[in-house]
Each structure stands twice: as C-alpha cells, then as structure tokens.
Structure 1
C-alpha cells in the first residue's frame, strides 16, 4: 500500500534558513546592481 494519506497531501518539509538567504542574495544583489545602473543611466539621459 501507499504511505501517502487519502487526501494526497505530503508532509511539510523545512528549508534551511541559510539556504533561503543565500538564494535571495544570489538573485537580489545583481538585481539591485542592475536597477541602480538603469536608474543612473536614465537620470543622465532625461535629467541632463
């Protein structure tokens, strides 16, 4: 027989906090850098 419940739900698993923080940093740092450079270039283009 199957070990899953009759509703099809699986038990919750936890993700390590450090892994989540690393993933956010891996995506967030380049994103912030790109937004900063875009804003700087746009201000030079439109601000004079």
Structure 2
C-alpha cells in the first residue's frame, strides 16, 4: 500500500522562494542578452 503525503505549506513557501531564486537571475540574463543582440540588428 502506498501513501501520498500532502505537501506542507512551508514546503510550498520554500519551493516558491527557490523558483524565484532561480528564475529572477535567469530572466535578467535572457533580457540582457536579447537587448544586446537587438543592438546588432539596428
């Protein structure tokens, strides 16, 4: 018999903080790369 454990609210908060920690620098890098690349095509 397998049991599925519910995700605790603290785990959801940790998960959200982790994804923000990862996606914010990634989004910043993509934005900077695209803005620099657009300079080549002007």
**TM-score of the superposition, structure 1-length normalised?**
0.65
Q: Deviations over 1:14-45 (max 9, x none)?
A: 35110010010010000000000011001001
| Pairing 1:3-22 to 2, within 5 Å after superposition | 12=5, 14=7, 16-22=11-17
Alignment size in residue pairs: 40
**Secondary structure at 1:26 match in 2:** helix
2:31 corresponds to which residue? 36
RMSD of equivalent CA atoms: 1.5
